[in-house]
Amino acid sequence: MVLLFVSFGGFLVVGEPSAATQEITGDPEAPGQPIQLGPGVTISVPPGWSVEQPGGQPPSLRLSNGIGQMYIAISPVTGDPGQQLQAYLDEVLRPQASQISTSPSQPIEIPSGNPAAFFAYVGTFEGVNAPLEGEVAAVVAPGGTALVVDGWAPEGQFVSIQEDVRSTVVSAEVA
């Protein structure tokens, strides 16, 4: 077994590369049931998604619905949403990708009023047989706490989970 260790702002994101296309066997949460990821950070699990909570640093969890996956973490990096996204791209996605294309980051308006932004990507990743497409979003609270959400699926299938990924970002409480 090969484990992939990727630094994210001085913290490690650990996982087996081939896990990107494997179904996660976790406990289905009650739809919309809030999960406290860390102090001041709560997310709601979309209906039909299962949760795996790996623990560790940064505080994070992964969700799966059988088609796509989400990696959700409290960012150890300081900065505005654009800086959060750049750090995630440079420190997590690019090192795992043999090829990646991204859209420019765009701001998101969310009900909390916290600054937020996202970018889309398509890429080929080490240990994954099919290209993946997804979106990464960052939400930053006034006190500096930041949440990063990366949702992905095999290329051509992301559209079927895109709304769930976006609703997870929009409904997140980051204080």
Structural domain spans, the chain: 4-174
Query: Half-sphere exposure of residue 107, counting CA atoms within 13 Å on the CB side?
Result: 6
pLDDT tens-digit series, residues 27-64: 444 455 789 999 999 999 999 999 976 667 889 999 99
Please give the pLDDT value at position 56. 73
In this predicted model, what pLDDT tens digit does every residue of 69-116 receive, in sequence order?
999 999 999 999 999 999 999 999 999 999 999 999 999 999 999 999
Residue 17's SS3 state is helix
Q: What is the dihedral of CA 106, 60, 68, 25, to 10 degrees?
A: -170
The CATH code that applies to domain 4-174 is: 3.40.1000.10
